């Protein structure tokens, strides 16, 4: 029966109205997955031999020591981006198919998501190296199975708590407290992690614990989902009592203030936009990657990280304008909405958050003023230049975003556009190139000043640039309307 379901989904994919775009996005996602697979496999080699040759320690012990952090991050990522595939199952509920079969299929399908199995590439590669280096076969296999099952438990935990935001906040608070206690060595969290995960290698019989937990949680999730598995109950979109909210002081800024008010309320109310806010927060720590590889310490890559650290919200939210308004965009177009004020409201909201990100990024001063000044210059470039190019690229984004949907997607089929990709040149490559060349020939100060000047020029000429962007939105108006109306 599972194979029949998969065949039906494949047929559905090729019978859609956007087969070409679907196929293009699938190919791009496949390339991305292959890239991450290569990174994880290479990371396993690098970790093993660095720990063995440079640190002169047991690689299995050291990796086990930090697996608790990886486990927590895996759970967070799955909560943000992974959802049960309910949409393709709904049509089968009216057929003569046992609900038990459908529920088991849904649970099994969550393990096909790349978020579920990508980490296994690291564990499998690492285990293969350990076996090649003479580690116990039984011990390594027990370690691999035990660790993998504990990570797979996150699928079930995500299903149980996915719609319970209060519980998720409490768990996040517990994670933060435990992380703080571990950081200040008040609780030896890493030592406990080493004992737990390395215990599977030392005492292989302990894998019975994750095996019992895995099948126990599968059964528990099965009963939980089975109880809610009805079109008018668990699979129906949640309905809440509407609340009127208003940020009064924004009203004095006219149409722009009204649009900003609406966007802030949208960000607060919907799970999709809350995911954008969470993702933007995590972007603030993107610069910490510079300590994992010497590649990131080059001037161009330092600027690249600065653009992401200060512009996370800009990239996640700005390039989806007007997609976030797709559900009522046709209505807006009948009301003669002033395009320029509409876009300026988005622009101001994006830049307010970008400015706040520049301030929050002050903690990078701990790693050196040069690093923070680079990030500061990148933030100015984001405000003056990238904010406008990001809105410009939004004109080519024909993706529908259903704010009431329970799905969480990183990318969708209509977001792929060659024009939007070409706009990455002034958004990313130009500042990276200018900063690297200026720093190489004239020093750090010249590099920072050159990027800051570009940002200032973009800010001063924003009105002229907005006129160009408005013309682009108007030229794309009818194709955008057609894409937003086409639910296929």
DSSP alpha helix (H) spans, 187-231: 189-202, 208-228
**Minimum mean pLDDT among 66-75, 339-348, 416-425: which range?**
416-425
What does the alpha-carbon distance between residue 443 and residue 50 come to, in Å, rounded to a whole number?
34
Rounded-to-integer distance, Cα 318 and Cα 301, Å: 23
Residue found under tokens 């065949």: 7
State yes or no: pLDDT of 4 exceeds 90.
Answer: no
pLDDT class of 136 with cuts at 50, 70, 90: very high
The band of 19, judged by pLDDT with boundaries at 50, 70 and 90, is low
Secondary structure percentages of the chain, helix, strand, coil, to 5? 80, 0, 20
Residue 417 has pLDDT above 90, yes or no: no
Cα 272 from Cα 256, distance rounded (Å): 23
Of the candidate ranges 1-15, 233-247, 377-391, the one whose mean pLDDT is the lowest: 233-247
CA dihedral 233, 235, 237, 238 (to 10 degrees): 50
3-state SS of 350-397 is: HHHHHHHHHHHHHHHHHHCHHHHHHHHHHHHHHHHHHHHHHHHHHCCC
Q: What is the distance between the alpha carbons of residues 307 and 389, in angstroms, rounded to a whole number?
A: 13
Average pLDDT, the chain: 80
Residue 196: both structure tokens together: 């737990």
Query: Tens digit of pLDDT for each residue in 198-253?
Result: 999 999 999 999 999 999 999 998 888 887 766 555 445 454 444 545 566 666 67
As a dihedral over the C-alpha atoms of residue 276, residue 278, residue 279, residue 283, rounded to 10 degrees, the angle is 130
pLDDT at 126: 94
pLDDT exceeds cutoff 60 at 75: yes
Within 13 Å of residue 232, how many CA atoms lie on the same side as its CB?
1
pLDDT tens column, 144-159: 999 999 999 998 888 8
Report how far residue 466's alpha carbon sits from residue 389's, in angstroms, rounded to the nearest whole number: 10
Model-level pTM?
0.57
Instruction: Indicate whether 374 pLDDT > 60.
Output: yes
Count other C-beta atoms under 10 Å from residue 16's C-beta.
Answer: 14
- Give the model's pLDDT for residue 205: 93
Q: Residue 33 — φ and ψ, nearest 5°? A: -65, -45
| Residue 296 pLDDT > 70 | no
pLDDT band at 10 (very low <50, low <70, confident <90, very high): low
Q: Give the angle subtended at the CA of 337 by the CAs of 335 and 343, to the nearest 5°.
A: 155
């Amino acid at each position: 029966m599972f194979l029949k379901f998969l065949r039906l989904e494949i047929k559905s994919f090729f019978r859609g109205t956007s087969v070409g775009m679907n196929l293009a996005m699938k190919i791009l996602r496949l390339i991305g997955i292959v890239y991450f697979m290569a990174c994880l496999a290479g990371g396993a080699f690098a970790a093993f031999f660095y720990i063995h040759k440079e640190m002169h320690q047991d690689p299995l012990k050291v990796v086990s020591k930090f697996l608790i952090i990886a486990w927590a991050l895996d759970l967070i990522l799955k909560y943000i981006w992974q959802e049960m595939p309910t949409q393709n199952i709904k049509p089968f509920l009216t057929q003569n198919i046992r609900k038990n079969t459908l529920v088991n299929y849904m649970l099994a399908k969550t393990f096909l998501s790349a978020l579920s199995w990508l980490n296994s590439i690291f564990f499998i590669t690492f285990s293969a190296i350990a076996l090649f280096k003479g580690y116990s076969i039984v011990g390594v296999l027990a370690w691999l199975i035990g660790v993998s099952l504990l990570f797979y438990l996150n699928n079930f935990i995500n299903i149980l708590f996915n719609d319970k935001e209060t519980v998720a906040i409490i768990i996040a608070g517990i994670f933060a407290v435990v992380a703080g206690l571990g950081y200040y060595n008040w609780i030896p969290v890493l030592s406990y992690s080493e004992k737990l995960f390395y215990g599977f290698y030392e005492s292989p019989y302990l894998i019975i614990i994750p095996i019992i937990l895995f099948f126990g949680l599968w059964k528990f999730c099965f009963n939980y989902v089975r109880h809610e598995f009805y079109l008018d109950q668990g699979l129906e979109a949640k309905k809440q009592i509407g609340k009127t909210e208003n940020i009064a002081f924004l009203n004095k800024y006219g149409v722009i203030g009204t649009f900003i008010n609406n966007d802030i309320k949208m960000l607060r109310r919907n799970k999709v936009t809350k995911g954008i806010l969470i993702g933007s927060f995590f972007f603030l720590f993107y610069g910490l990657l510079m300590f994992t590889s010497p590649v990131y310490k080059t001037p161009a890559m330092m600027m690249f990280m600065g653009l992401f650290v200060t512009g996370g919200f800009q990239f996640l939210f700005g390039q989806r304008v007007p997609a976030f308004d797709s559900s009522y965009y046709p209505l807006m177009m009948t009301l003669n909405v002033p395009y320029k004020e509409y876009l300026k409201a988005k622009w101001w909201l994006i830049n307010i958050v970008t400015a706040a990100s520049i301030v929050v990024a002050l903690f990078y001063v701990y790693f050196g003023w040069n690093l923070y000044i680079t990030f500061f210059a990148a933030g100015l470039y984001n405000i003056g230049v990238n904010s406008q190019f990001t809105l410009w690229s939004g004109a080519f984004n024909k993706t529908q975003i259903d704010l009431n949907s329970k799905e969480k997607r990183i990318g969708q089929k209509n977001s792929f556009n060659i024009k939007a990709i070409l706009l990455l040149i002034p958004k990313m490559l130009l500042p990276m190139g200018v900063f690297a060349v200026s720093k190489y020939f004239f020093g750090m100060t010249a590099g920072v000043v050159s990027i800051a000047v570009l940002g200032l020029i973009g800010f001063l000429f924003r009105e002229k640039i907005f006129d160009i962007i408005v013309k682009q939105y108007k030229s794309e108006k009818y194709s955008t309307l057609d894409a937003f109306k086409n639910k296929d």
